[in-house]
Amino acid sequence: MAVARWNPTMPWRPFQQPWSPFEGIESLRNEMDRLLESFAGSPQPSGIRESVWTPRVDLLEHEQAFVLVADLPGMKEDDFNLAVQDNVLTLEGKRTFAHVENGHGRYHYSERASGTFCRRFLLSTAVNAEQITATYKHGVLEVHLPQAAEAQPKRIAVQASS
């Protein structure tokens, strides 16, 4: 039995490049964008589409409070809103860039996402809405949500019977 090196090219096209699963993904993405634009409308005149942007978030639970930390780079305090209702924390807003709004220039490449976002988090216990504090510094939002007194665990003293 002879061992032959495997060649991933098609036998009827021996001079083509070896097949790669990643080849053509960009063209597939462009075709999908073009297809979806026919349903959603044409892109903005600058050529940059507004997208659904999802900021990165951490939600921690401590013994007496929840802490939400969200990365919101390039935003101002007026660009996002926080709300708590029925144990659901909602963070929503819109990130825009000045050069996109002005319409000056032409993009050659763009990776920074802009657009609207809405994140909702179900909290496992009730929180005290009057004591919620939020700070925003260097593009990082930190929200402290103290648990309601009735939601905090209570230690029950057990007495020995004689």
pLDDT digits (tens, 9 = 90+) for 105-153: 666 767 777 888 899 999 988 999 899 999 999 999 999 999 988 766 6
Q: Determine the pLDDT at residue 136.
A: 95
Q: Is the pLDDT of residue 58 over 60?
A: yes
Considering Cα of 36, then 33, then 48, then 138, what sign does the dihedral take?
positive
∠ CA 150-151-157, nearest 5°, is 75
Average pLDDT, whole number, for the chain? Answer: 78
**Segment 33-52 mean pLDDT:** 60
pLDDT digits (tens, 9 = 90+) for 12-40: 555 555 556 666 676 777 778 777 776 66
Q: What is the DSSP string of 56-92?
A: -EEEEE-SSEEEEEEE-TT--GGGEEEEEETTEEEEE
Q: Determine the pLDDT at residue 45.
A: 46
Q: What number of CA atoms fall less than 13 Å from residue 85's CA on the CB side?
A: 4
Alpha helices in 13-146 (DSSP H): 25-40, 98-102
Q: Determine the pLDDT at residue 141.
A: 96
141 burial via Cβ count (<10 Å: 0-12, 13-18, 19+): buried
Question: Higher confidence at residue 162 or residue 79?
Answer: 79
Q: Is residue 114 a contact partner of residue 53, using CB atoms and an 8 Å limit?
A: yes
Q: Is residue 66 a contact partner of residue 145, using CB atoms and an 8 Å limit?
A: yes
Q: Determine the pLDDT at residue 70.
A: 96
Q: Determine the pLDDT at residue 6.
A: 61
Question: Higher confidence at residue 112 or residue 76?
Answer: 76
Give residue 46's pLDDT band: very low, low, confident or very high (50, 70, 90).
very low
Q: Is residue 68 a contact partner of residue 121, using CB atoms and an 8 Å limit?
A: yes
